[in-house]
Amino acid sequence: MNIKSIICLFFFLVTPIFSNTSLKFSTVQNSVLINMTQKILEIAYAKLGIEITMDQYPAKRSLLLSNGGKKYDGELHRISGIEKKFTNLIPVPVPIYYLDGIVLSKSIAFDVKGWKSLKPYVIGVRRGIVFTVNGTRGMKRVLFNSNEKLFNMLDNNKIDIVVMTRMSALKYLQSHPEIKVDILEPPVQTYKMYHYLHKKNAHLVDRLTLVLKQMEEEGSIEKIKKDYIQELLKK
C-alpha cells in the first residue's frame, strides 16, 4: 500500500461514524458461501466499529428485501451487475470471491463454450440465482427451488444438464455420493462477487472499499477463502 493510500485509510478509520453501529444484510438461503463472506465482512466492518448480522431468504426475495432497504442495509454477496436491475444497491468495488458457473451432466458430454453452447439441452437452474436465470433466458429450461430438486431431476433424466456454482455442486455431491454426474469444463462463465450496500448507506462505500483493499493486499481475504474451502470440503 502506498503512502497516499495509508493516509486515506487512516483518515477514514479515525473519523467517527455517526450512523448505526450495527448493520443487517439479507442473503441467499443455504448459500455455501455465506460463512466465508460473512467472516470477511465481519472483519472489515469491525475495523469501522460496526457489527453486522444477516438473515437468509430464497434468492429472489433476498434481493427484493435488500433493494427495498426498509429492514436491511444491503446484500451480503452477489455477482456483479445486479445493480442494473436492483438500482438501490451499490457494489463495494473490491471482489470478495470469484464464482465459477459450471455445467453438470449425467449422460451428455459436449464442449462448454459459453451460454450458447447449452441451447440444445433441457437445462435445470435454481430459481432466483441471477446468473443462471439470465444466462439461460430464452432456452429450454426448468426452474427449481432447491439444489436437491435439481440433482433429483438430473439423476432421474428429467433434465439434460444443470447449471450452478462450482462450490455448491462440489459440496452437494460430497454429501450425496450416490449421485453420479460429471462436471463439464471449462466453466460456462466466471463472475466477480461483491458485497452490496443499500443507497441509504452510500456514505460507507469509500470507507469499506479502503478496508477491503487493505485486507486484499495483505492477503487476509485470500487466506480466509482458502481456509474455508479446505474445511468445507473435509466435511
- Domains of the chain, with CATH numbers? 3-97+193-234 (3.40.190.10), 99-190 (3.40.190.10)
Q: For the CA atoms of the chain, what is the radius of gyration?
A: 19
Region 202-219: mean pLDDT is: 96
Instruction: Reply yes or no on whether the pLDDT at 14 is more than 70.
Output: no
Lowest mean pLDDT among 8-22, 37-51, 193-207: 8-22
What three-state secondary structure class fits 49?
coil
Share of the chain above pLDDT 90, in %: 69
How far CA 89 is from CA of 66, 92, 192, 221, in Å, comes to 8, 10, 16, 23
Nearest Cα to Cα of residue 78 among 14, 206, 165? 165
Question: 195-205: per-residue pLDDT in tens?
Answer: 999 999 999 99
* 74-79 sheet: strands from edge to edge: 51-57, 22-28, 74-79, 182-198, 89-105, 161-165, 123-126, 141-144
Question: 113-166: per-residue pLDDT in tens?
Answer: 999 999 999 999 998 888 899 999 999 999 998 889 999 999 999 999 999 998
The CA-CA-CA angle for residues 64, 67, 71, to 5°, reads 85
Instruction: Reply yes or no on whether the pLDDT at 17 is more than 50.
Output: no
Cα 57 versus chain centre, distance = 14
Q: According to the model, what pLDDT value does residue 129 have?
A: 85
Q: Is residue 157 within 8 Å of residue 60, measured between CB atoms?
A: no
Q: Is residue 45 within 8 Å of residue 175, measured between CB atoms?
A: no
